[in-house]
């Protein structure tokens, strides 16, 4: 996982002492927009996680266009977030 920081030239690895997994965290929006998103657009995530990536990309677009500064844009991001991961599974069960 440490090699992700080297490969992308950004981010950090954080491990919660209570768990055996780690998180690769990239906080700088320009790194996300200029490095992480283009990589995964070129080499797509395979499977159900690709739907989460598409939602995450949409949220990044909203932020890039400063839409997150409006109530409508902020709510769009919240709705995208609510539908990701376990939220996506719950919404599918309701259909």
Alpha helices in the chain (DSSP H): 2-8, 29-31, 37-42, 49-64, 71-82, 86-94
Please report whether residue 52 resides in a domain: yes
Please report whether residue 78 resides in a domain: yes
Please report whether residue 36 resides in a domain: no
Q: What is the pLDDT of residues 60-84, one digit of tens each?
A: 999 999 999 999 999 999 999 998 8
Please report whether residue 79 resides in a domain: yes
| DSSP calls for 23-38 | EEE---HHHIIIIIHH
Q: Which pTM was predicted?
A: 0.78
- Please state, in angstroms and rounded to a whole number, the distance separating the CA atoms of residues 95 and 29: 34
- Other CB atoms within a 10 A radius of the CB of residue 40 amount to 13
Please report whether residue 19 resides in a domain: no
For residue 16, what pLDDT is reported?
Answer: 85
More reliable by pLDDT, 69 or 95: 69
Q: What is the pLDDT of residues 25-34, one digit of tens each?
A: 999 999 999 9
For residue 91, what pLDDT is reported?
Answer: 52
Q: Which two tokens stand for residue 46?
A: 């395979």
Please report whether residue 51 resides in a domain: yes
Number of domains, the chain: 1
Please report whether residue 64 resides in a domain: yes
Range of the domain at 51: 44-94
3-state secondary structure of 83: coil
Please report whether residue 3 resides in a domain: no
- Please state, in angstroms and rounded to a whole number, the distance separating the CA atoms of residues 66 and 73: 8
């Amino acid at each position: 996982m440490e090699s992700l920081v080297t490969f992308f030239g950004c981010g950090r690895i954080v491990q919660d002492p209570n768990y055996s997994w780690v998180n690769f965290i990239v906080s700088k929006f320009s790194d996300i927009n200029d490095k992480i998103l283009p990589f995964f657009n070129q080499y797509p995530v395979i499977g159900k996680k690709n739907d989460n990536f598409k939602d995450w990309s949409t949220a990044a677009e909203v932020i890039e266009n400063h839409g997150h500064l409006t109530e409508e844009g902020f709510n769009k991001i919240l709705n995208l977030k609510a539908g990701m991961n376990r939220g996506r599974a719950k919404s599918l069960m309701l259909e």
